[in-house]
Structure 1
């Protein structure tokens, strides 16, 4: 029985948590094409290879008849620092501090009301 290549590729992509929109953008295809590949029983070698490069997965394990490990030179992907995340973290810290002060005021007020 032959392997359903599309399902195997889909499993790897989804297991790695890679966004299908990001995958489509990286491969310069639309999302519909990605879904069609997942449904396809056999895929061209270059498609599997390119998907593997984008999601940083060595498909030589799943398809040893098509690839050798050396083909998938998985260099660390460069990620730009997300400035929004740093700003959001700063706002989050300020928000938590403000909530803690508000909580202290409520406790103090409740204590005063009990006396």
Structure 2
């Protein structure tokens, strides 16, 4: 899903009822530059943070909701022996909830052995 952040800002500004000149003043730019912002497909995060605060809308959520996360994968190899030795490889994406989910899965595996 491609996000044209400028168009999204324009929609939220229009719905807010705030005048473009006042919006420009609050984000410390010229009214002319506001039209330039509307045309942008990308925007620097520091400016997007200010715009989010001024319009009371979290534009960052547009990006987070469009990201498809992979489920963590667990590869289990049990060697040919009578011992309960299991080799596990975890693939994590850096999110705390992924680690927590992986730990729960490991506990289930341990109980099954």
Deviation of 1:5 (Å)? 1.0
Q: Which has the higher helix share?
A: 1
Deviation of 1:60 (Å)? 3.5
Q: Does 1:12 align with 2:5?
A: no
How many residues are matched? 65
- Superposition TM-score, scaled by structure 1 size: 0.51
Q: Which has the higher strand share?
A: 2
CA distance in 1 between partners of 2:17 and 2:49 (Å): 18
- Superposition TM-score, scaled by structure 2 size: 0.52
Which structure 2 segments of 5+ residues have no match? 66-113
- Retained in 2: the 8 A contact 1:9–1:48? no
Q: Does 1:23 align with 2:26?
A: no
Could you say which residue in structure 1 is the equivalent of 2:2?
A: 2
CA distance in 1 between partners of 2:57 and 2:42 (Å): 18
SS in 2 for 1:22: helix
SS in 2 for 1:62: helix
